[in-house]
């Protein structure tokens, strides 16, 4: 999708059920081996009472929406804010959503409301700014 095709209100989604393998692989790739993600005994003693997924694993699903659905291939992240509101657990299906809230034509920037939900519960809330390719650019 080109900048010229973008309109306020357009949205895209991506859904993924978080698995044990996702958490272990994310820990390996990111280096984040916090035991609240990997050790059931440790996690049982925390406020969460069981293991939780990495917040950034769920946040990466927002990147999937932006890079593959809306605006899609060729988009470049400029900024992202995130507020982590609730934990995600193994077996939860996370739905990441991005909705266009504005455009900045002179820079070919698009702003998006971004969220991740598990059921009706918002687990991540934020806003992204991305640069979108223009039809006129070579």
For 18-43, how does the pLDDT look when each residue is reduced to its tens digit (9 = 90+)? 999 999 999 999 999 999 999 999 99
Instruction: State the average pLDDT over residues 68-92.
Output: 97
Domain residue spans in the chain? 3-131
Instruction: State the average pLDDT over residues 69-86.
Output: 97
| pLDDT recorded at residue 138 | 55
Length of the chain: 138
Q: Which residue has the tokens 């909705």?
A: 99
| pLDDT recorded at residue 137 | 65
> Residue 120, SS3?
coil
Fold of 3-131: Thiol Ester Dehydrase; Chain A (3.10.129)
| pLDDT band at 136; cut points 50, 70, 90 | confident
């Amino acid at each position: 999708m080109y900048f010229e095709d973008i309109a306020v209100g357009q949205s895209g989604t991506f859904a993924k059920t978080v698995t044990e393998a996702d958490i272990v692989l994310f820990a390996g790739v990111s280096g984040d081996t916090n035991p609240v993600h990997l050790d059931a005994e440790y996690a049982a003693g925390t406020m969460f009472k069981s293991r939780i997924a990495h917040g950034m694993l769920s946040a990466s699903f927002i990147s999937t929406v932006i890079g593959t659905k809306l605006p899609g291939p060729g988009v470049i992240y400029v900024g992202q804010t995130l507020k982590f509101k609730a934990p995600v657990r193994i077996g939860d299906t996370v739905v990441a959503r991005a909705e266009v809230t504005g455009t900045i034509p002179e820079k070919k920037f698009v702003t998006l409301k971004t969220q991740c939900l598990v059921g009706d519960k918002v687990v991540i809330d934020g806003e992204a700014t991305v640069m979108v390719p223009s039809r006129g650019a070579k």
